[in-house]
Structure 1
Amino acid sequence: MNFFTQLANSTKVMMTFIGSDIPEVFIPKGRGAFLFSLFFNKKKNKDVIGKSFSSTLTKLGPSYIKLGQFLATRPDIIGLNAAKELSILQDEVPAFARKEAEKIISDEFGLSVKDLFIEFDNVVAAASIAQVHKAKIEHDGKEIHVAVKVLRPGIEDKFNRDFQVFYFISGLLERFNSSLKRLKFAESIETLEKSVDLEMDLRLEAAAISEMTDNLIDSDEFILPNVFWDKTSKKVLTTEWIDGISVGNKQALIDKGYDLGNIARIIIQSFLTQALRHGFFHADMHPGNLFINNDGKLVMVDFGIMGRLGNKEQNFLAEILWGLITRDYKRTAEVHFDAGYVSDKSRMDEFSQALRSIGEPLTGRNASQISMARVLAQLFDITEQFDMKTRPELLLLQKTMVVTEGVARSLDPNLNMWDISKPIVSDWMSNTLSPAEKFKDTMNSVSGLGNMISQIPNIIDKAEKTTTDIISILDRTAENKNKRDFKRYKYIILIISALIVLTILT
């Protein structure tokens, strides 16, 4: 897409927002502010802003709904009220024709739908990227029902065009508002694009189901659908059809005699198990993707959006939760500094005090008395106050935690999330960080080891720079040296480098 096409498409999109209310962060500061105010509203009622912005994104179509849903994970950018409104954006669009779905399936497998399926029914659910049909296949001599997810025709080209517009507008906004640069708004668009690219290859979703099934194989409280790989491709995903009651249908669950408090506990603990123990979690745990089957087990579906945490992020999350649970704010502050999330220019004691201002009001209170929105608002205030770096994977985790907590609270308003979290967090930390001894007795030694390990990249960088400088000097004087002698000098340098590392470590 050339510049003029980008400009034309971007202008068309921006024209759609004329007269609409938009989050304050998107309003230019200084240059261009007055001109901008002539066309766009800036109302003081934040609730109105969220609804108006959400409505405009919906009018613009599937790509913009995805953008809105993603922005819901960035309350640090758009504000909590707008984020709350965007979080309930419905990813629902009209279904495409059944004949088109059948053609895509036939093209993918080189066989007719009748050859692949005993039955192939009309669409049961449609979203921006794909739609789902119920079907029947023969497997191991039995006829079983399956869910067949089919990618929308032409969806990849459409999203590619729209993302060019997103990049153009985000670059423009960053130029006029420096706070968006600090919050890495343009990088967030890139993160969204990567996420959508993954969603458009249904083989990757199948792989996500397979990986999570392996991770949760020992659990007897939640299950995942089986994948039928012989009927799965880039544009088609076939999984086991599991009947169940949506966790959003509270009355139906009550009528079946289910313990709603227990279901709420399972939902929260399943999420924490995914994130903490395995570092791989379902990042779209809204009621439409969570069911209770006939055996009373939690069933998760739709694995298009997944989150992944490295060991560093897993440790960070566990330490944060443990710090809030045990009220050890100093330790929690140390974790932030050790992980490099807080600027070295900041003071640790001040950061610890800020965390205490968040954690203390939570002590001894149940979920009905705690506003997660308020907690997040304070966290993001601290983020700005201490100039903390934005971590997209942790923002996705935060968003998923809030959604998961909301689902659990809808089932059991008196749920105490901290009490439910404590056994998962303490078990993970004791097993992972100090398997040989009691957790409390070894926390300090583990912390010290973690600090040393976290410094290794810096140590290596320093050693490498020193080595490079010395070798550079030798290179400049090597012209009059025998090559064999010079090789020997370089071996000496390697030994010196090793000594440098040992010296720094000790």
Structure 2
Amino acid sequence: MGSWWSIRYIRRRQEIVGTFMRHGLGYLLQRFGLAGTMQLSTRQLMNGSYEAAEYLLADNLRQAMVELGPTFIKLGQMLSTRPDMLPPPYIEALETLQDKVEPLPYELVLKQLINEIGHPELVFEEFDPQPLAAASIGQVHRARLKSGEEVIIKIQRPGIEKKVESDLEILKRLARISEKRSNEARRIGIAAMIEEYSRLLLRELDYAREARNTERVYNNFKDDTRVVIPQVYWEYTTPRVLTQEFIAGVKLSDIEEIDRRGWSRRKISRLGTEVFLSQILLHGFFQADPHPGNMLVVDEDKIAFIDFGEIGYLTERRLIYLGELLLSLNKGDIYKAMATLQDIGIIDKLTDTDDFYEDFVDLVKNVSSTSIGNLDMRKIRKDYLELAYRYQLRMPAYLTALMKALITVEGVGKKLDPDFNFSEVARPLAMKVYTERMKPANAYKYFQGKYYQDVRPLRKIPSHLNALLNTAEEGRLTINMKIEFTGKTNRKLTQLASRVSASLIITGVLIGSALIIQTNHSAEVEKYAYLGVIGFGMALILLVVFFLASLRS
């Protein structure tokens, strides 16, 4: 299996390793126990990798990910949500990853359309062969249906699934090797992380899933006249082609065009923020990667959201935890805030809570000493990333995506209106949500959920305890223990086993040579007796060398 893997993927594996080396990132391979995957000549390039400035290496990592294609671009975007793995400069660099590429030749676009929904001349009244945008996974074209509706068609690149699956196989294998050789990789759980990443990326390749996401958001806002969500045309949608309504609008970042049309920037910034917060607080289903390109201004009273390939999901429990955390921070109740962090799963039993408490207090004081309107969200986020890396806090992906989304929305709001106050928009909506959740029907629903999740399972404790005692009484109780050694201890044990083996071999040669020398031989055998003397002498020399080496170590 190992040799087949090496032969099948050797060229791509060498390309991956070579790309990392060219960008001065060999130290990362060494850090995660993958130095053995490099050729000897390549390993020499690792010298000096540690010397470069951290921000420069972070940008090099971003460039390497772009060069290696869609699988690694998406991996980089996912790593940007893991501040426990990488220092803040790396997180910030990976968040800027974009995958703009040259458009597909029209012949390949045509072939993909024919395979999925039929020839464009039979399906559309008009089809623009020039794409509106192109990325490494797919590209977007504009068209008009026979029935007259203006649509956009998102077309997946032919063969991208096989390429991504091949890269994922390589990553999975490297992750397993890494966990065998690196304690840090085992601590992070890199193999499980890559498995989860593979699952998410393969889901993202399914355009039918993106269509379902879009339809869900469409239904969430169907009664809100301020919001426009594109309608999906299912008869022209497959896992590789997505057809949805074309929405004419101005990008939220196109301030010049907004001003030219005489629209109020302040009004638009408040509207965009309020609607996006509604996705989070009211529906718990939001764009995980919002940017000015997928938020369009239809007019100053109406805003559109497009592109729901990446979605964040907040359950009722997650929303309550977030509410408790924000409320405790607002009141300066550090202990309650830390307890909520434990409930969320950010702090675990391995975290040094005393040291963390001191740093967390500093962060909270920094927030509470600044007036709400003047909060620097980017500075707060930078402090939080440094804290997460220092204590290796496992931030849930939904929480990191949420913070990134909120900072993006706040940044767009301030660009439109320098006096924009995020809290002025957020506070009334948060109070509305809080009041809604305190209604008897919703409170009953919450406590009912808590009962089934936390209280009802306690009924099984007596029966489980009885079964445990019976098993122990009958002598059938077994305890499984798993002992893991550090890398240093493993090396010492291997060294010890090697020395024991060497000493046994040397002893055997000494005894065998002595027997050859001492035993009476026939005349024919006698002439080879000198071999015993040579063997005895060599064994004696090896014994002295072995003894001196043991003393030095």
Distance 1:321 1:420, change over 3 A: farther
1:19-418 to structure 2, matched below 5 A, reads 19-22=22-25, 27-28=30-31, 38=46, 41-109=49-117, 111-122=118-129, 123-139=131-147, 143-294=148-299, 296-344=301-349, 354-363=359-368, 365=370, 370-383=375-388, 388-418=393-423
* Structure of larger gyration radius: 2
**Change in CA separation of 1:24 and 1:38 when aligned onto 2, cut-off 3 Å:** closer
The 1:179/1:463 distance shift into structure 2, 3 A limit, reads: farther
For 2:206, the aligned partner's letter is D
DSSP 3-state at the match of 2:132: strand
> Structure 2: how far apart are the matches of 1:113 and 1:31?
48
Give the direction of change, closer, same or farther, for the CA distance of 1:89–1:148 in structure 2 (3 Å limit): same
* 1:331–1:367 distance in 2 versus 1, CA, 3 Å: closer
Aligned to 1:17: 20
2:13 partner letter: S
Contact 2:263 2:300 in 1 (8 A): no
What count of residue pairs does the alignment treat as equivalent?
467
CA separation in 2, counterparts of 1:447 and 1:303?
Answer: 28
Q: What's the TM-score, normalizing by structure 1?
A: 0.80
Please report the RMSD computed on the Cα atoms of aligned residues, expressed in angstroms: 3.8
Contact 1:405/1:417 (8 A) holds in 2: yes
Distance in 1 between the 2:243 and 2:72 partners? 27
Structure 2 segments unaligned to the other structure (5+ residues) = 477-553
**Superposition pairs of residues 422-461 of structure 1, within 5 angstroms:** 422-432=427-437, 434-436=438-440, 455-456=454-455, 459=458
Report the TM-score, using the length of structure 2 for normalisation.
0.74
The one-letter code sitting in structure 2 at the alignment partner of 1:20 is: H
| More displaced stretch, 18-27 vs 248-257 | 18-27
Structure-2 change in CA distance of 1:178 and 1:427 (3 Å): farther
State the secondary structure of the residue aligned to 1:18.
helix
SS at match of 1:150: strand
Q: CA deviation at 1:269?
A: 2.9
Q: SS of 1:118's equivalent?
A: strand
| 1:13 shift after superposition | 0.8
**Structure 1 residues 448 and 386 mapped into 2: Cα distance closer, same or farther (>3 Å)?**
farther
Deviation at 1:293, TM superposition (A): 1.0
Give the aligned residue type for 1:155: I
Offset of 1:199 from its aligned partner?
Answer: 1.9
Task: Tell me the distance in 2 between the aligned counterparts of 1:36 and 1:454.
Answer: 55
> In the alignment, is the contact (CA less than 8 A) between 2:83 and 2:388 conserved in 1?
no
1:49 & 1:468 partners in 2: Cα distance? 56
3-state secondary structure, aligned to 1:105: helix
Change (3 A) 1:52 1:368: farther
CA–CA distance in 2 between the matches of 1:187 and 1:267? 37
Determine the C-alpha separation between the residues in 1 that align with 2:383 and 2:445.
30
Query: CA separation of 1:450/1:138 partners in 2, compared to 1, >3 Å: closer, same or farther?
Result: closer
Return the letter of the residue paired with 1:292. Answer: V
- Look up the match of 1:3: 5
Equivalent in the alignment of 2:526: none
Seen in structure 2, the aligned counterparts of structure 1 residues 41 and 238 have a Cα distance that, compared at 3 Å, is same
Would the aligned equivalents of 2:33 and 2:178 in 1 still touch at CA under 8 Å?
no
Task: State the alpha-carbon separation in 1 of the partners of residues 227 and 154 from structure 2.
Answer: 22
Moved more, 164-173 or 153-162: 164-173
User: Which amino acid letter does the alignment assign opposite residue 65 of structure 2?
Assistant: L
The answer to whether the 8 A contact 2:20-2:26 is kept is no
Cα offsets for 1:348-395 (capped at 9, x unmatched):
887666544223322374689544344234334444566644423323
CA distance in 1, matches of 2:31, 2:290: 35
Deviation by residue 1:154-193 (Cα, 9 ceiling, x = unmatched) = 1100100111222233344445553444334433333332
The answer as to whether partners of 2:373 and 2:422 remain within 8 angstroms in 1 is no
Aligned-partner residue type, residue 9 of structure 1: R
Q: Which moved more, 1:98-107 or 1:197-206?
A: 98-107
Shifted more, 447-456 versus 405-414: the winner is 447-456
Alpha-carbon distance in structure 2 between the residues aligned to 1:277 and 1:36? 55
Deviation (angstroms), 1:449 = 9.6
SS at match of 1:167: helix
User: Are the structure 2 counterparts of residues 167 and 234 from structure 1 closer, same or farther at C-alpha, using a change threshold of 3 Å?
Assistant: same
